[in-house]
Amino acid sequence: MRPRVIPVLLLDRRRRLVKTQGFSAPTYIGDPFNVVRIFNEKEVDEICVLDIEATHDGRMPDIGFLRELAAECFMPIAYGGGITSVADCEAVMKSGIEKVVIGTMAPTSSLVQQVAADFGSSSVCVCIDIRGSGNTARVVIRRAEHALDHLPVAYARWLEGQGAGEILLQSVDRDGAREGYDLDLIQAVSKAISIPLIAVGGAGTHAHLRAGLQAGASAVASGSAFVFIGKLRGVLVSYPVGVELDAILA
């Protein structure tokens, strides 16, 4: 199987695509429909769409919008943001999305277990946001505003036991920094679980993506790597194809 290379698309409350740094300072990227069409042409492996303000705003997933977006997508889509119930998941999946991403609700409820029972583990991806690194790495929720005592490895194992089908492991400190993933974190967590791990947070180049896979990730995701070019963060939507992709996967 080829490891996946996944663009992450962040939506703000006005349904615009943005890219953050350290979970704040959003830069406007463009219209989600235009970007998705480009990704169709590039035959991307999968996309991950996250509404980064839904939980903060207390908004439910915007099903009408997701239905329109899914109608344009010829690739698998994972969606996260504002999901608080099995009914939310059902509505999201009915709209044409194959996977739900659960974050803030995962540690404090039985939502992961319930959704896995109803829709199967492979439909449930749990996002683990991490602040700090090494011994100081801790799980955070609610846009990293609230820190938990959970350690990354133990928490990931617990989620696997709850029925999570996949872990989206995100380093908050590295978000948008384009200096590479937290490879030690990826290695530690991927070794501890038998479900796939998607690495996100910090990749800016194809070499970073490759390093993430070598550290043990089953898939590498990035917001920055596929939308920015150059030090000045000029917006250019791209995706590795052909020999570029082969070099990442080699």
Stretch of 54-62, 181-189, 190-198, 240-248 lying at the interface with another protein (CB under 8 A): 190-198
DSSP type of residue 121: G
Cα separations in angstroms, 198 against 7, 140, 236, 243: 11, 17, 23, 22
Rounded Cα–Cα distance for residues 192 and 142 (Å): 25
Which stretches does DSSP call E strand in 12-103? 17-21, 24-30, 47-51, 77-80, 99-102
Stretch of 21-29, 41-49, 176-184, 222-230 lying at the interface with another protein (CB under 8 A): 41-49
- Is residue 14 at the binding interface for another protein, with CB under 8 A as the rule? no
Closest Cα partner for 156 from 181, 137, 172, 174? 137
State the minimum distance, in angstroms, from the CB of residue 23 to another protein. 26
Judged by CB under 8 A, the chain residues 124 through 153 that form the site for another protein are none
Told to judge if 129 belongs to the known catalytic residues of this protein, a careful annotator would answer: yes
State the minimum distance, in angstroms, from the CB of residue 16 to another protein. 23
Rg (CA), the chain: 16
State the minimum distance, in angstroms, from the CB of residue 174 to another protein. 23
CB 199 within 8 A of CB 221: yes
**The binder of another protein chosen from 85, 96, 177, 183 (CB under 8 A):** 96
- Is residue 122 at the binding interface for another protein, with CB under 8 A as the rule? yes
Polymer length of the chain: 250
For another protein, the closer CB: 126 or 197: 197
For another protein, the closer CB: 31 or 118: 118
- Is residue 250 at the binding interface for another protein, with CB under 8 A as the rule? no
**The binder of another protein chosen from 11, 17, 45, 213 (CB under 8 A):** 45
Rounded Cα–Cα distance for residues 187 and 248 (Å): 18
CB hemisphere CA count around 245 (13 angstroms): 16
State the minimum distance, in angstroms, from the CB of residue 121 to another protein. 6
CB 33 within 8 A of CB 72: yes
Query: Active-site residue among 51, 129, 175, 182?
Result: 129
Closest Cα partner for 193 from 220, 226, 212, 168? 168
Q: Which amino acid is at 224?
A: S
**The binder of another protein chosen from 123, 170, 171, 222 (CB under 8 A):** 123
- Is residue 94 at the binding interface for another protein, with CB under 8 A as the rule? yes
Q: How many residues at the interface with another protein, by CB under 8 A?
A: 37
- Is residue 4 at the binding interface for another protein, with CB under 8 A as the rule? yes
Instruction: Compute φ and ψ for 62, nearest 5 degrees.
Output: -85, 90
Q: What angle do CA 49, 224, 52 make, to 5 degrees?
A: 35
* Residues labelled catalytic: 129
Binding site for another protein (CB under 8 A): 1-4, 40, 43, 45-46, 67, 70-71, 73-76, 93-99, 117-123, 165-166, 194-197, 218-219
